[in-house]
Amino acid sequence: MKKSDAAEFMKRLAARTPAPVTELEFKNSYTLLVAVVLSAQATDAGVNKATKKLFAATDTPKKMVALGEAGLKKHIRTIGLYNTKAKNIIALSRMLIERHDSQVPGERAQLEALPGVGRKTAGVVLNTVFGQPTIAVDTHVFRVANRSGLARGKTPDQVENKLYKAVPEEFLQHAHHWLILFGRYVCKARSPDCPACVVRELCAFKEKTTTATVATAIDGAKR
């Protein structure tokens, strides 16, 4: 995609959602970190349902360690990979207590050193909590970037690097959330809503849906 088209692409997404925010529910930087760890291979809605009671009583590393792995599992067992996630969350909570005075660090290397925290999770925390212009590439961002031609790549890292080059600096701060929300509600995996798309004439996707095909997909999902 040409730089001018990429700029227009982001301008339209910005106009569509002027003040984007994460749909994960959290109370502080620590609970956001936990929520993002839990969101791997899970929906935000599913995570929010599981963490509602958890975060009401457990919103610090010390409280999480006191709850323990078995106690945590009772709250998150509806989430995929909950055994591994529980183990990592207790371990990262201990590390935050021991190395960071129970505070979530604002540096990527320190975040990625925590158990269960990869580049995507670190990017979300750095952007949402610390206001850094990071772009975390999840499945939605990866799909939108490749399908539209905004930033094509075979891996999340490749897409991320290309996005930093394609997205104008003025849009970097919120690019992550704009792309996620757009992918979640418009540029969906199985049935993209091309008729409602604000960037359809800029998009390189050849198999664009029509009003009829979208309606058919919706009817099929209801049956």
Annotated catalytic residues are 120, 138
DSSP string, the chain: --HHHHHHHHHHHHHHSSS---SS--SSHHHHHHHHHHTTTS-HHHHHHHHHHHHHH--SHHHHHHHHHHHHHHHHTTSTTHHHHHHHHHHHHHHHHHHHTTPPPSSHHHHHTSTT--HHHHHHHHHHTT--------HHHHHHHHHHSSS--SSHHHHHHHHHHHS-GGGHHHHHHHHHHHHHHTS-SSS--GGG-TTTTT---SS---HHHHHHHHHHHH-
d(Cα 34, Cα 55) in Å, to the nearest integer? Answer: 10
> Which among 135, 134, 158 is positioned nearest to 146, based on CA atoms?
158
